[in-house]
Structure 1
Amino acid sequence: MHMISLASRRVHNQLRTHLTRAVTLSQSSFFSHSSPTMRPLVAADLNPAIANVQYAVRGELAIKAEEHREKLASGTTDLPFTKVISSNIGNPQQKGLDQPPLTFSRQVAALMEYPPLAEVVRGKWPQDVLDRAKELQEEIGSIGAYSHSKGVPLIRKSVAQFIEERDGYPSSPEHIFLTAGASAGVSLILNVLITPNVTGVLIPIPQYPLYTATLAQFSGIPLPYHLSEPDGWSTSLEEIKSALLKAEKDGAHPRALVVINPGNPTGAILDRATMEAVVRLCEEHSLVLLADEVYQANLHRPDTHPFHSFKQVVRALNSPIPLFSFHSVSKGVTGECGRRGGYFECTNISDEVLALLYKMASVTLCPPLSGQIGVDCLVRPPKAGTPSYALWKQETDAIHAALRHRTQLSAARLNALPGVSCVDSPGALYLYPKIELPDRAVEEARRLGKSPDALYALELLDATGICVVPGSGFGQKDGEHHYRLTCLCPGVEEYVGALEDFHKKFVEKYGGL
């Protein structure tokens, strides 16, 4: 028996050796790409719609700005500036812009991330912070777990209450979807609205490139309508009607109208009469209204240019139009872009459609819990008389004042430059100056295969380290040139001085105006 056992074991070992060699040879053959049918993945294999997606605020300028930043970090002294200023994107807490986070929001977030911290800070942090974190913890449990796909029910109730207090009309938590930033909500709604290569969506020009990029991704048809720059970038009903007529001639089927209020990149704020006219136009043409209202707290002159939500206008008019309204923690004075928190509210949307939206939201399981906590702090800030209120009021007032000062000073100084005109934005985080460029600059841009304002922006970056977005990335009328800059940059005097000096040298370099 022992001899048989040894022989059996010897055969088993020999067999295992042969099999191991065979598997090794097979793997070697597979990974050597010797198969005549195997070829690498190439761009032509991908969804062709992706090729049409463009997103200017993180395009060529942003890439080159990062290259400059890396050179500076390596210790180079070859560049004519010592820092890169990211004025291309509304990212308040980005390094170099350094808008401070609100203490209340960060304290609540810290306790949600690590609940035992409560015992360490008890008696040191305000009691309303501890109470808020405890309330959320009892509702959510660990933020490392999935929540409801529409978002934590308690937070959706808080959003509904915020909307009711803002507008004076009821809001249902069941009509609220929390999202990974407002952009995720916009993408979800456009996805469900669009029939590829058939559906048209009216978008303002200039517009935030999220809309053209998302339309390209889902093979929707952009139907541009121009805002009126001489009238402070106001929304023109005649332009929207003209776009609808053109769509009819072109065979597109308009299904939705996008309004960004306050505007991006323009900073314009719609007046109540215009909003009412927009709602009536949507009724006439059976359009779904998408109201991008993420800058609703960024008001530089609230007494003369107040914000009204489209939800309020739709309810006041007793209008039946379908409305999706978007908000975010990324803007306002919160500026928590990286948390990816936002929401949209559905108004006049049927239960059938709400169920389909819920199904689509469930595909991604849930929005980030840290973003949902941020939304709760956005819609439930400290109230007067609570321990955190005084500091919260001090911090928010300081941010509002800084944004107002930077916007007004920048607009005034830019308007004093030859060949520059700039609407003094009453809202949002940006200015969108119009620039006249010398003929030689336009010819040089064409030679390089670039838009003239892209050439201007690239030379501005190389000369000053200031990164802006050319107007061609937002859309503009033929023959016009703009760029968008944020009003988030500290040291505004030095910053605007660099813009002024560059503009004068650029005009002189290309032969004057």
Structure 2
Amino acid sequence: MAARAGGHSQAAMNGMKEKVLTLDTMNPCVRRVEYAVRGPIVLRALELEQDLRQGVKKPFTEIIHANLGDAQAMGQKTITFFRQVLALCVHPDLLNSPHFPEDTKRRAERILQACGGHSLGAYTFSAGIRLFREDVAQYIEQRDGGIPSDPNNIFLSTGASDAIMTVLKLLVAGEGRSRTGVLIPIPQYPLYSAVLAEFNAVQVDYYLDEDRAWALDIAELQRALHEARGHCTPRALCIINPGNPTGQVQTRECIEAVIRFAFEERLFLLADEVYQDNVYADGSRFHSFKKVLMEMGPPYSTQQELASFHSISKGYMGECGFRGGYVEVVNMDPKVQQQMQKLMSVRLCPPVPGQAVLSMVVSPPAPSDPSFEQFQAERQAVLAELAAKAKLTEQVFNEAPGIRCNPVQGAMYSFPRVQLPARAVQRAQELGLAPDMFFCLRLLEETGICVVPGSGFGQREGTYHFRMTILPPMEKLRPLLEKLSQFHAKFTRDFS
């Protein structure tokens, strides 16, 4: 105590006070949070960009951000219909302009009529504007072949991430062996590991099978669940379909097996389906968990709890910055659903422009509308190019010695496996780095290419990967892939 009092006196003599909030006194759960896609390697990329702006000479002239699924940042064109309607909503005086198609004006007026004060600047109901939730429900019904969807079970959100955090917050409880465990795929999207760390829940890893194109194996789910029950209480199972970072698309048979497993083991299902428009491989098809669940019939359709998520950030839209998304809950306890509503009300409401864009995404122009033809052409062009880029990525990487890439069946990323020489692994360990982080840092410093090491997503011990988006324009993607492959060959020679 005397030493501490002396410390206080010394601080007072220096005119300093101890800060109330320090690394020692802050929430320890926050300190444990890591988010690889915006982690140390991205911070280093930003430093290098600053150096380039200041004229510092580097072996490259620009940083290529292949680390994020940010379509428009990578040059993807916006969908004209969405932006025209949004412009009219933001500046209603344009409704008198002859330069906008009549259907965009009708859509803007419909959106504004649903807003408080007929303005996007007004707060909305915490779960989102009712009209837009009805649009989402109608979209889900059409997507799932007429299976009913209730707008009261739909909550709009600040991107899918916000909805995922809300549902996980409802699930997390307990201490010690009663702490909530959540099964997540490995490799995973680091949102899940970050949120579970923040909420002090237990991350339960189940591994996807890389040798079978990242397939999900029920036996592996059983292994993970059995081992976890020794130290926590698993209550939820997360599925990412199509996969991020792995790009696999689940078969209907697999989804049925997962639903049966969750039902038998009393696990709440979280279906992350934000890439449902991004399916490229021949023979692959998106099946929603909601549709499969309902078609399986009782007791699954009437009892299995499910939350499914979608977003405007991905697909063919790529409207990341507007932060729009939704969650549909199925078979949730009505009293818990009320608590979910209360929790969302604390954050007032999702961004209204994002809600408006979501309403357009789920209710695009009809064939009779003047904007339909252009909308369809733009949508198909984006998806066709993404499919071509997925195929090209797999092809180029698999032609490179020491790199193996599974088919990119869907989503927006490749997750190739790279062989790293023993000397490189040893050097990484000496530097206190994961071997694939060491590889990715060297790649960044020598070429300006920014990708994310597989260790940030999780991977089997002794294997090394990186995640790279397939979003760069086609004329830039092939040189990028070839440059990366050439760097791997050089890296291998340097450490052999």
Per the normalisation by structure 1, the TM-score is 0.90
Aligned to 1:74: 54
Residue 69 (structure 1) shift? 1.3
Letter in 2 for 1:470: P
Mapped pair 1:136 → 2:111? yes
Of structures 1 and 2, the larger Rg is shown by 1
Is the CA contact 1:329–1:335 (under 8 Å) kept in the aligned structure 2? yes
Q: Is the partner of 2:148 in helix, strand or coil?
A: coil
Residue 33 (structure 1) shift? 6.1
1:194 to 164, 172, 182: 172
Residue 350 (structure 1) shift? 2.2
Is the CA contact 1:143–1:370 (under 8 Å) kept in the aligned structure 2? yes
| Backbone CA RMSD of aligned residues | 1.4
Aligned to 1:177: 155
2:84 to 107, 111, 130: 107
Residue 74 (structure 1) shift? 2.2
Q: Counterparts of 2:141 and 2:38 in 1: how far apart (Å)?
A: 36
2:255 to 275, 285, 289: 275
1:239 to 217, 220, 238: 220
Letter in 2 for 1:255: R
Q: Percent identical across equivalent pairs?
A: 43
Q: Is the partner of 1:66 in helix, strand or coil?
A: helix
Aligned to 2:8: none
Q: Counterparts of 2:17 and 2:172 in 1: how far apart (Å)?
A: 36
Letter in 2 for 1:191: K
Q: Is the partner of 1:345 in helix, strand or coil?
A: strand
Letter in 2 for 1:74: Q
Q: Residues 112 and 34 (structure 1 numbering): CA distance in 2 closer, same or farther, change over 3 Å?
A: farther
Aligned to 2:492: 507
Residue 63 (structure 1) shift? 0.4
Letter in 2 for 1:128: D
2:30 to 50, 74, 84: 50
Q: Residues 35 and 324 (structure 1 numbering): CA distance in 2 closer, same or farther, change over 3 Å?
A: farther
After superposition, give the CA deviation of every residue in 1:126-149 in whole Å (9 maximum; x if it has no partner).
111100000111111211111000
Q: Is the partner of 2:420 in helix, strand or coil?
A: coil
1:374 to 357, 363, 380: 357
Q: Is the partner of 1:184 in helix, strand or coil?
A: helix
After superposition, give the CA deviation of every residue in 1:225-255 in whole Å (9 maximum; x if it has no partner).
0000111101110110000110122x21010
> What residue ranges of structure 2 are gaps of 5+ in the alignment?
1-10
Residue 385 (structure 1) shift? 2.7
Per the normalisation by structure 2, the TM-score is 0.93
Q: Counterparts of 1:423 and 1:327 in 2: how far apart (Å)?
A: 25
Residue 365 (structure 1) shift? 0.6
Letter in 1 for 2:256: E
Q: Is the partner of 2:307 in helix, strand or coil?
A: strand
Name segments (4+ residues, structure 1) moved above 3 Å. Answer: 32-38
> What residue ranges of structure 1 are gaps of 5+ in the alignment?
1-31
Q: Residues 35 and 453 (structure 1 numbering): CA distance in 2 closer, same or farther, change over 3 Å?
A: closer
After superposition, give the CA deviation of every residue in 1:341-381 in whole Å (9 maximum; x if it has no partner).
00000111121111110000000010010110111111011
Mapped pair 1:464 → 2:447? yes
After superposition, give the CA deviation of every residue in 1:193-214 in whole Å (9 maximum; x if it has no partner).
0015400000000000000000
Q: Is the partner of 1:124 in helix, strand or coil?
A: coil
2:93 to 116, 119, 140: 116
1:126 to 79, 86, 101: 101
Letter in 2 for 1:429: M
Question: More displaced, 237-246 or 37-46?
Answer: 37-46
Letter in 1 for 2:108: A
1:164 to 135, 141, 157: 141
Letter in 2 for 1:153: R
Q: Counterparts of 1:471 and 1:314 in 2: how far apart (Å)?
A: 32
Q: Counterparts of 1:366 and 1:204 in 2: how far apart (Å)?
A: 30
After superposition, give the CA deviation of every residue in 1:269-290 in whole Å (9 maximum; x if it has no partner).
0000010010000110110000
2:271 to 291, 310, 322: 291
Letter in 1 for 2:487: F
Aligned length: 473
Q: Counterparts of 2:341 and 2:429 in 1: how far apart (Å)?
A: 48
Q: Is the partner of 2:77 in helix, strand or coil?
A: coil
Letter in 2 for 1:107: Q
Mapped pair 1:357 → 2:340? yes
